[in-house]
Amino acid sequence: MTKKVHNFNAGPCVLPDQAIDNTIEALKNFRGTGMAVIEVSHRSKEWSEVMEETESLWRELLNIPENYKILFLGGGASMQFLYVAMNLLEHKAGYLETGAWAKKAFKEALGLGNAIAVASSADKNYNYIPKGYTIPSDLDYFHITTNNTIYGTEIKEDIDSPVTLVADMSSDIMTRRVDVSKYGLIYGGAQKNVGPAGVAFAIIREDILGKVSRHIPTMLDYKIHIDKKGMFNTPPVINIYIMLETLKWLKGIGGIDKIHEINLRKSQMLYEEIDRNSMFTGTAEKEDRSIMNHCFVMAKGYENLQDEFLSFAKENGMVGIKGHRSVGGFRASLYNACTEDDVAALVKCMRDFENNNK
């Protein structure tokens, strides 16, 4: 399959051609069953093999220790906001408030019990990652959102925490090496780097569960899903299958270290143009800039050209660069399957626009 546009959508995101092509074939005839992958029983041997292979690739690519369980659940990351608080919050939880999604996760915890914002970057419209804060030692867990898609900031290293560390890695999972052992729980929606919308992943160290006194509804109980090996109810089969094909592609190109190297090149290429181009200016603090989501606006004096640039970009095959409705401007999401050629095309588009409007 050949894409005719340069896709910078923040999610659902661009996916590898290989993953899409292989999924199309599986929709015609899944592993010789004579059925589409969306028709086959989730209790069948063929589907069990898909689940096992997908988990195996997660473990291999991220070097996930054996004492962690991996789940693929419906509902996306927004449902996981509630899962986390429901399963882990007993006395008090702490949240690092770095953007809209971190704030929504915090809100779910507040609805269930005592939760505090340990630090926040709301004072500057979330354009930086808070620093110099102290994580209280009496928390049940400390929650971070490692990449903030709307504002273009990212925590690029695994932090040290005196309490169970929980991370929403929806938009930067599988883009860099992660020391999973530093986290009690890593979760996220798949639709940025590991598949389509409609399935969430959860990587859980088992010893953090079973410590709350509240009743946990069956469908929101991690332990139930773990005990049933992720098959308590029918899993989102097509979403998981595309995830498997996406991870196969990632392994095939060299895995996490290789894609991180590519992502750094893509990110540097675009940020250099944002900083050089007289028409544009970046919005996030440079030291905290996201490698995934590149946010920028028209430079002072050129604000009236925003719509004109969006039209120009669209005419030149750029898709999904309009900024989130809450902040405006522009956002280019350079997820794993976005190529260096895509980024080069966007850079050329920005340069051409500058030359046309000097």
Tell me if 4 is assigned to some domain. Answer: no
243 contacts: CB under 8 Å, gap ≥ 6: 54, 72, 190, 194, 195, 196, 199
Active site residues: 101, 168, 192
Q: Does one domain contain both 173 and 281?
A: no
pLDDT at residue 7 in the model? 97
Give the list of residues 6+ apart from residue 47 with CB closer than 8 angstroms, or none.
40, 41, 237
Beta bridge partners of 44: none
In a domain, 5, yes or no: no
CATH at 310? 3.90.1150.10
* The residue type at 155: I
Q: What is the CATH number of the domain that holds 147?
A: 3.40.640.10
Do 22 and 69 sit in the same domain of this protein?
yes
Instruction: Please indicate, yes or no, whether residues 136 and 205 belong to a single structural domain of this protein.
Output: yes
Domain that holds residue 324: 255-357
Asked, for residue 6, whether it belongs to a domain, the answer is no
For the stretch 102-124, pLDDT in tens is 999 999 999 999 999 999 999 99
Residue 52 pLDDT more than 60? Answer: yes
Q: What confidence tens digit (pLDDT) does each residue in 331-357 have? A: 999 999 999 999 999 999 999 999 999
Q: Are residues 216 and 334 in the same domain?
A: no
Residue range 296-320, pLDDT digits in tens: 999 999 999 999 999 999 999 999 9
Say if residues 106 and 117 touch (Cβ distance below 8 Å): yes
59 and 123 fall within a common domain: yes
> How many of the other CB atoms lie within 10 Å of CB of 37?
22
- H or E segment to which residue 307 belongs: helix 306-315
Same domain, 78 and 213: yes
Strand 165-168 relative to strand 141-145, pairing: parallel
pLDDT of residue 4: 80
Pairing of strands 200-205, 318-319: unpaired
pLDDT at residue 3, rounded to an integer: 62
